[in-house]
Amino acid sequence: EEIQRETAYPDGKVEKVLKNGCHLIFFPNGTWKKVGSDGKTVTITFFNGDVKQIMPDQTVIYYYADAKTTHTTYADGLEVLQFSNGQIEKHYPDGKKEITFPDQTIKNLFTDGQEESIFPDGTIVRVQRDGSKTIEFNNGQRELHTSQFKRREYPDGTVKTVYMNGQQETKYVSGRVRVKDKDGNIIMDTKL
């Protein structure tokens, strides 16, 4: 672009105004700034390779050169971080976070302390604030983990519970209940 005007300042800064209305400002440390002809689009290229862009809608895109990471902040407060390994994090204004890992696992962190992970195979793991966990498998089975027991629920209605003391209890859809001690010995079986 053709230069319309060039000004050198005592502090070493040089400003060039281009005929298309853009302003280029060069700083002595190697950083330079471009202000678009609209006066709203600003790009700052720092001496270390970082780049900050401010868009007309006030979206700010910051690229960290060393980390190869882009941090975008939207006018509504949403922040999106894109890492070089493919991980993407979304930080919402209400405090919720959503992380998409390179393997496409999605983890949601809610403001009330709950977590939810959705794995590529369709498995969903939900963790409550008290640490209890629910796992929903893509084959229809469900598991509940608490501080007292682990319980697996099968699609046919069978429920198997393993207590912290090692005792196991299996309830079948027929009404049959079988209980085993920690060593696997049957201590009760109500065959109907």
Predicted TM-score (pTM) of the model is: 0.80
Domain extent at residue 7? 1-47
Judge whether 35 lies within some domain: yes
Q: Is residue 31 part of a domain?
A: yes
Residue 164 lies in a domain: no
Count H helices and E strands in the chain, helices first. Answer: 0, 21
CA distance 64 to 77: 20
- Whether residue 192 is predicted with pLDDT greater than 70 in this model: the reply is no
What is the structure's pLDDT at 30?
Answer: 95
Q: How far apart are CA 11 and CA 27, in angstroms?
A: 9
Would you say residue 39 lies in a domain? yes
The identity of residue 65, as a single letter, is A
Share of the chain above pLDDT 90, in %: 96
pLDDT tens by residue, 127-160: 999 999 999 999 999 999 999 999 999 999 999 9
Q: What is the mean pLDDT of residues 13-42?
A: 95
Does 16 map to a domain?
Answer: yes
Give the pLDDT confidence score for residue 40 in this predicted structure. Answer: 93
Average pLDDT, the chain: 95
Any domain includes 54 = no
Q: Is the pLDDT of residue 89 over 70?
A: yes
Structural domain includes residue 85: no
pLDDT in tens, 35-48: 999 989 999 999 99
* pLDDT at residue 1 in the model: 73
pLDDT band at residue 79 under the 50/70/90 scheme: very high
Residue 120 is assigned to a structural domain of this protein: no
Q: Region 75-104: what's the mean pLDDT?
A: 97
Instruction: Give the phi and the psi of residue 133 in degrees, each rounded to 5.
Output: -135, 135
Phi, psi of 67 (to 5 degrees): -85, -10
How many structural domains compose the chain?
Answer: 1
Q: What is the pLDDT of residue 170?
A: 96
Query: What does the pLDDT read at residue 191?
Result: 79
Whole-number percent of the chain with pLDDT over 70: 99
